[in-house]
Amino acid sequence: MSAPENPPRRFELAAAQPSLAGASAVVTGAGRGIGRAIALELAARGADVLVHTGARQEAAEAVAAEIRQSGREATVVVCDLAEPSHHESLLRAALAWRRTLDIWINNAGADVLTGPAAQDTFETKLERLWQVDVRATIRLGRIVGAVMKQQGRGAILNMGWDQAQWGMAGDSGEMFAAVKGAVMAFSRSLARSLAPEVRVNCLAPGWIKTAWGQQVSDDWQARAGRESLLGRWGTPEDVARAACFLVSPEAAFINGQIVAINGGWRSPG
C-alpha cells in the first residue's frame, strides 16, 4: 500500500507569540522579579512599556534600556505607591507618554520578606502591604479603568496569590491571604464595573523563585517542589507569559477570572 499523497502534518507547538504590536503598557513594580519579566515579555511581543519602580531607579533604567535594545520604546517613572497622591501622578505620566492606555498591570507589591523590612513587626508589615498591594491596586484600577472605559478599550491585570483561597499558617500566610484575597475579590468586582469595554483579570502565582525564593532554607525549597504537581518552583518568566496572554487579543473572551500560576496545586495534606 503506497503512502498517501499528502500525509497529515505532525502536530507541533507553535513558535509564534501573541502580537501586542503598537500597544502601550504600564507595569508597576517592574524593576526586578516578576515585574521585570513581564515588562520584557510585553516588549518582546511588540508593546511599548512604561517601567514603574518605587525606589530602584537604576534597576528600572536597566529594564528600560533592555526594552529599547529590543526595538521597542520605554520610559521610567519612579514613585512610591504607598502615597495615594502618586497614583494620579503615575496615571498622568502614562497619559503624557502615550495618549491612550492599552494595558495596565498592577504588579507592585511591598517586599516585607527580604531586607530590613523582614525584621519589622507583623503590624508594620501588614500596614505596608495594605498601602501598596491593596490600596494602590484598588485606586489605580479605578482611575485607570475610568480612562480605559472612556476610550472604549483596555485590559487591566492584578496580582493575587494562589493560596489566598485556602490559607497558609503563620504570620506571612495570614498577611498575604488577607491582602491578596482582597485584591482577588476586588478584581472580580472591577471586571463587572468596567465591562464590556475593559477586561480585568487577576493572576494568582504560587511558588515563584523571586528574591525571597533564592535565599530560603532547604526545607522551603523542598516544600515548593512538593506542593506543585510539576515538582518545581515557577519562574518570573512563567508568570510573565501568562500575564501577556491575558492582556492580549487572544484572551479577548477571558474576563473577571483568577488564574493560578502554580504548576497545579498539590495539597500538603
- The superfamily (CATH) of domain 24-261 is NAD(P)-binding Rossmann-like Domain (3.40.50.720)
First to last CA, the chain: 56
Q: Name the pLDDT band for 13 (thresholds 50, 70, 90).
A: very low
- What integer pLDDT is reported at residue 14 of this predicted model? 46
If you ran DSSP here, which 8-state letter would residue 16 be given? P
User: Is 263 in contact with 232 (CB distance < 8 Å)?
Assistant: yes
Ordered by start, the domain boundaries in the chain are 24-261
Range with the largest mean pLDDT of 72-76, 112-116, 228-232: 72-76
Could you read off the pLDDT of 138-192 as tens digits, one per residue? 999 999 999 999 999 999 999 999 999 888 899 989 999 999 999 999 999 999 9
- Reported as type and span, the H/E element at residue 69 is helix 57-69
Three-state secondary-structure class, residue 194: helix
Reported pTM: 0.89
